[in-house]
Structure 1
Amino acid sequence: MNAAHDDATGPEGVRLQKVLAAAGVASRRVVEQYIVEGRIRVNGQTVTELGRRIDPERDLVDVDGTAVQLDVTKRYVMLNKPTGVVSSMRDESGRPDLRRFTKDYEERLYNVGRLDAETSGLLLLTNDGELAHVLAHPSFGVTKVYIAKVDGTVTPQTISTLTKGIELEDGPIAADKARLLDTSRGSSLVELTLHSGRNRIVRRMMAAVGHPVTELVRRQFGPLHLGTLPAGKTRDLSKIELGALLTLARRESGVAAAPGEQETE
């Protein structure tokens, strides 16, 4: 079999090592070593033969248990959304929207979920509609970490109340974790970890325990951390971040099969 025919895409598909090299996983030679070592799975099954061919548009591949995006046209961008910007690509009221952050990208990027105008922090932008649907669906329950500046002095008892659960107008809610970070000059900094997709949930929870939010930032979305990304800036996800995000979405995608409302915080 000559090399040209070996790399051709046909009814049998494309050689696995070619696809993974194109996806930036490693060189073909290194990928072949991964196959020999049993580190690569296709649709959940370990691949051991070097001649394996796949359909890049249909087959799901992971390396060492981490999902790989085979479609190199997909883009994944982290934005540190500033306050005063609505989570929309075009705001009907003429308010500042997300277009200013996506105009320099060739791809048509869309936001995954929403942060309300006065909440800043981590927002994911992508042209991967399937991933966006899974991650933004309320039943999916991606873990999110917020830091809230609130009025008043938050006590350890209040922190305990937040994790034990409180009753809101749309049902009970409890933080997965809550930590008091600081208290000074009549205000407190509270870190809340939640997987709820309910609208404005952090603001409503803190108001319910008597500490209205004055500033709110989302620091983490699933495996993604805002880190030192300045407000108003964007960056592409790293290979490690993308792998973690895709792995999470594939593992849980059956949960979010039905369409639903996107969260707002």
Structure 2
Amino acid sequence: MRLQQYMARCGVASRRASEEIIISGRVTVNGELVTTLGTKVSAKDEVCVDGKKIALEETKRYIILNKPAGYVCSSSDEKGRPIALDLLKEKYSERLYNVGRLDMFSCGLIIYTNDGDFAARLSHPSAELEKEYIVDTSTAMPRELADDFMKGVRIDGIFYKCIDARELNSHRMRIVLAEGKNREIRRVFESREVGIRSLMRIRIGCVGVGDLQYGQFRELSQDEVKALLKLCKN
């Protein structure tokens, strides 16, 4: 199979992220540096990433975590900030990575997996997988903010548009996104000079946060995994 596909099935990263790792010169095959995408490998080959040998994962993991605010979504952090992945390491020995991101100051649902194909399907913009958020603000929101966000707002040349927005009260709004550009909600609110006190993702596709408290996690059922994939439009 292709090297990036092999890496994804080993739980290194999604296929797209694995391609970036290959191009950056971090992968060797049988002791030889490989930077060419599409290189074919088999289970008999010795593949190393950053000098560490990788192997196909026998068990596929699909986990949702209710990420607390203050944790970053990365495998490591040079600034020494808390890493959300560390909340899973005591239970799981597999090499897991996050599907999509939440910024450090946001909280709520994020999916972790070692299934690269699953991650690639869910995270691709063409999947148009719904994500639902609750936003609490430190100041009252302009009454037209929800309608403007649904119609679309252009900020610094980037167009932001949500699927749905409902003002729950003067300081709380429920927002549903399909694509989710980088810091989309924060940028829209900042453009209207509205301070965000908390931003929580409460749903990804058909999976809700349920009774999970901050820092808690659970494995998705096979039915939930299939349902998430079925919702993807790609």
Q: Which SS does the other structure have where 1:115 is aligned?
A: coil
Q: Report the alpha carbon displacement of residue 122 of structure 1 after superposing the two structures with TM.
A: 0.2
* Alignment equivalent of 1:224, drawn from 207, 221, 224: 207
Question: Partners of 2:230 and 2:201 in 1: how far apart?
Answer: 22
Residues 114-142 of structure 1: per-residue CA shift (max 9 Å, x gap): 11110000000001011112222234332
Q: Which SS does the other structure have where 2:186 is aligned?
A: helix
- Is the contact made by 2:121 and 2:229 (CA closer than 8 Å) also made in structure 1? no
- Is the contact made by 2:85 and 2:97 (CA closer than 8 Å) also made in structure 1? no
Q: In the alignment, residue 114 of structure 1 is paired with which amino acid?
A: R
- The two structures have a TM-score, normalised by structure 1, of 0.62
Question: Partners of 1:134 and 1:233 in 2: how far apart?
Answer: 25
Question: Partners of 1:181 and 1:72 in 2: how far apart?
Answer: 45
Match of 1:110 in 2: 97
* Alignment equivalent of 1:95, drawn from 81, 84, 87: 81
Give yes or no for the alignment of 1:86 onto 2:86: no
Question: Partners of 2:206 and 2:157 in 1: how far apart?
Answer: 28
* Alignment equivalent of 1:210, drawn from 190, 193, 198: 193
Match of 1:157 in 2: 144
- Is the contact made by 1:137 and 1:197 (CA closer than 8 Å) also made in structure 2? no
Q: Report the alpha carbon displacement of residue 172 of structure 1 after superposing the two structures with TM.
A: 2.1
Question: Partners of 2:134 and 2:174 in 1: how far apart?
Answer: 4
- Is the contact made by 1:90 and 1:98 (CA closer than 8 Å) also made in structure 2? no
Q: Which SS does the other structure have where 1:215 is aligned?
A: strand
Match of 2:231 in 1: 248
Q: Unpaired segments of 5 or more residues in structure 2?
A: 1-56
Q: Which SS does the other structure have where 1:246 is aligned?
A: helix
Question: Partners of 2:173 and 2:209 in 1: how far apart?
Answer: 17
Match of 1:147 in 2: 134
Aligned pairs, how many?
Answer: 177
Q: Report the alpha carbon displacement of residue 176 of structure 1 after superposing the two structures with TM.
A: 0.8
Q: Report the alpha carbon displacement of residue 194 of structure 1 after superposing the two structures with TM.
A: 0.8
Q: Which SS does the other structure have where 2:59 is aligned?
A: coil
Q: In the alignment, residue 208 of structure 1 is paired with which amino acid?
A: S
Question: Partners of 1:204 and 1:180 in 2: how far apart?
Answer: 18
Question: Partners of 1:98 and 1:154 in 2: how far apart?
Answer: 31
Residues 59-93 of structure 1: per-residue CA shift (max 9 Å, x gap): xxxxxxxxxxxx97211000000011000121122
Q: Which SS does the other structure have where 2:65 is aligned?
A: strand
Match of 1:133 in 2: 120
Q: Report the alpha carbon displacement of residue 211 of structure 1 after superposing the two structures with TM.
A: 1.6
Q: In the alignment, residue 208 of structure 2 is paired with which amino acid?
A: H
Q: Report the alpha carbon displacement of residue 209 of structure 1 after superposing the two structures with TM.
A: 2.7
Identical columns (%)? 38
* Alignment equivalent of 1:119, drawn from 64, 89, 106: 106
Root mean square deviation, CA, Å: 1.9
Q: Report the alpha carbon displacement of residue 107 of structure 1 after superposing the two structures with TM.
A: 2.0
Greater mean deviation of Cα atoms: 229-238 or 206-215: 206-215
Q: In the alignment, residue 110 of structure 1 is paired with which amino acid?
A: Y
Deviating 4+ runs (over 4 angstroms):
none
- The two structures have a TM-score, normalised by structure 2, of 0.70
Q: Report the alpha carbon displacement of residue 245 of structure 1 after superposing the two structures with TM.
A: 1.2
Give yes or no for the alignment of 1:180 onto 2:180: no
